Amino acid sequence: RSFTLDIARWDLECEFNNTDHRTELNGVERLIVRRGQPFTINLHLRSGVYQPGGSALDLTVETGPQPSDQYGTQASFGLTDQIDTSRWSAAITSPPGNMVSLSICSPPDAPIGRWRLTLGQGGRVDFVLLYNPWCTGDVVYMDSEEKLREYILAQDGIIYRGGWKYPIPTPWNYGQFEDGILNACLRILDMNPKCLRNPGKDASGRRNPIYVSRVLSAMVNCNDDKGVLLGRWTDDYDGGVSPLSWKGSVEILRNWDTNACQPVRFGQCWVFAAVACSVSRALGIPCRLVTNYNSAHDTNSDLVIERYVDENGQLVQKSRDMIWNYHCWVENWMTRPDLKPGFDGWQVMDPTPQEKSEGVYCCGPIPLKAIKEGELAYKYDAPFVFAEVNADVHTFMKRKDGTTKKIISSVHVGLKISTKSVGSDRREDITHLYKYPEGSDEEREAFTKANHQNKLLQQQDNAGLLIVIKVSADMRKGCDFDVFAVITNNTPNEKKCRLVFGSRAVSYNGILGENCGFKDLLNVQLAPGEEKRVALRMNYSKYAENLTEDNLIRLAALLLDYGTQEAYLAVRNVVLVNPEIKVRILGEPKENRKLAAEITLQNPLPVPLQNCCFTVEGSNLTGGQIVTERLNSTVEPGQDAKVKIYFTPTHSGLRKLVVDFDSNKLCHVKGYRNVIIGK
């Protein structure tokens, strides 16, 4: 006959368990464990001693507001001789005595979230259960320790912005283990409309990262729900801040959590993606942020982007179809038991609100393999993502009399798809994971499957005149520089042409601003085989006031052949480069020891800078806070803006100190410094 253990008190061993489960960076004040892996609780008995085979203990675990065995949100179990990692189980791992080590394990497909554990008659213990990519039985299992260090444990990273010819690395502080962030992430799950409608079913659904990824892609934007961020793609940020002012996810998630889930203003694609990455990593889903250059936004699912230009080669907005200079989303790692074999691994999930899916602004998860193979019937949202990297671009000229004419222009979408490398700050090109080499048999096969007829019919029609735009090597903000239209006559005949060469400020999602310089040459003559270079001067005095915060200028060169009436268009976006922020660490970086950083930026503009301000943040560096240092003085052209900032690192390891500089004429310049913190 067995006696029920008489428990006086217990010790959750949070420091030991959290470290063993790789959650200790969340803090060791509460129990945070991963599914499919045992954790240990020490029980101190009031009376009697534990005897193997002669002691009993009933345990119950439950999660969510309506726990049930059927939904897998409740389980009752007793002691067994040893742990069974495939289901809820408990075993005692200590010798006989009045202190008992109780080992408990959850199944690798248990729903994640907040759980309650009841020990016999008396004790109730709360703990948080997360996905476990270290556990072979978990659908998010990843077999590389190095990749897990990057895709789960790294609290900072690099986001690629700029343009495909000039990707600009921007640092970001994901901060998924900072104080309060895990609570905010669990609250995102609790506030999602599916949970509010049917909390019991939603709690059960949390076993499945496909379900949770889809919920996150809807909840990071606030278009249909009490989501985290409100998007804004105009220059008016009244009532909030410019998306470019954020340096990390911590402030955004905290603002949302502490302000009764009111949306944080404002986000754009890289901010939505970065917050989704923080939340995915916090919950235990391996995640990386990806940038697609020349990203197509196909609103009517015909895989064609139609663009219209006027007779000066300038875009006129006629359709909602757009080409974004770049677009960011995330990839989450998981198996796809709901699809046929071969589609496990990275899945696209896009939280930027663009088009509705099943009535809600969300997108994904869809396997990269499905995009590459042209399997557009697969879940979720394959046609939209396929178009982002493969759509065809048709350009038409809209004449003054209202007629339109197709013009010859080569624009490719889905270029230089980029993510941060594992374990280094280098850019990794992952375009090959999304598409086959251009012109290959496999590409044609994928396009046939996807019914992408336009791409299949395309022949390279090079009608003998060629126009391209070339730029200077150094296009720094504040400088005057030249850009060139280069025209080549590959025909045996002399050509007489008109060249319209213009430039306009543009935002990263393709919205055009004001004119930055323009030239109209009515009589360009080219002998057979001749090449001509036509320069357009870009003056700071002209472009300074028109630039958006994205620092982009769109160049368009339209060539009209008087003889054949054909029109040729070359388009290129140039990125004006911000000055470098230099960060010097003073002293030896050690845990819990005050440290100083000297931060410098040289004014590259021909005008003085006023209201200069540096802000700094870094996971485990600045205590989850943002450190701000203002300059009282004006910084003259060529002079340095310089500050000293103090902070106290809390954990050892490699960390990023992320810096933002802001002023009246030079806004949101980003920089960073990797700091290795010693023990």
Strands of 421-566, DSSP E: 427-429, 465-471, 481-489, 495-506, 512-526, 531-538, 552-561
Helix, strand, coil shares of the chain, percent, nearest 5, are 15, 40, 40
Candidates 269, 328, 362, 612; catalytic one? 269
Distance of CA 263 to the CA centre of its chain: 18
327 is catalytic: yes
What is the C-alpha separation between 92 and 38, in angstroms, rounded? Answer: 12
User: Strand runs (DSSP E) across 3-77, as ranges?
Assistant: 3-4, 6-11, 32-34, 39-47, 55-56, 59-63, 74-77
H helices within 112-232, ranges in order? 145-148, 181-191, 193-197, 199-205, 209-219
Q: Which of 350, 550, 561, 662 is catalytic?
A: 350
443 annotated ligand-binding residue:
yes
Q: Which residues of 584-617 are buried (b: 16+ CB within 10 A; e: fewer)?
A: eeeeebeeeeebebebbbebbbeeebeebebbbb
Closest of 503, 501, 567, 504 to residue 532, by C-alpha: 501
Nearest Cα neighbor of 335 from 86, 109, 150, 21 is 109
Q: Is 425 annotated as a binding residue?
A: no
The residues near 215 (Cβ < 8 Å, ≥ 6 apart) are: 188, 189, 192, 194
- Whether 41 and 10 have beta carbons less than 8 Å apart is answered as yes
* In contact, 603 and 635? CB cutoff 8 Å: yes
Distance CA 631, CA 11 (A): 51
Question: CB–CB of 390/396 below 8 Å?
Answer: no
Q: Which residues, including other chains, have CB under 8 Å from residue 576's CB and lie 6 or more apart?
A: 475, 476, 477, 543, 547, 551, 552, 553
Q: Which residues contact 408 (CB under 8 A, 6 or more apart)?
A: 461, 463, 566, 567, 568, 569
Place of tokens 């490719």: 412
Task: Report, as residue numbers or ranges, the catalytic residues.
Answer: 269, 327, 350
Q: Which residues are annotated binding-site positions for Ca(2+)?
A: 390, 392, 438, 443
Q: Which residues are annotated binding-site positions?
A: 390, 392, 438, 443
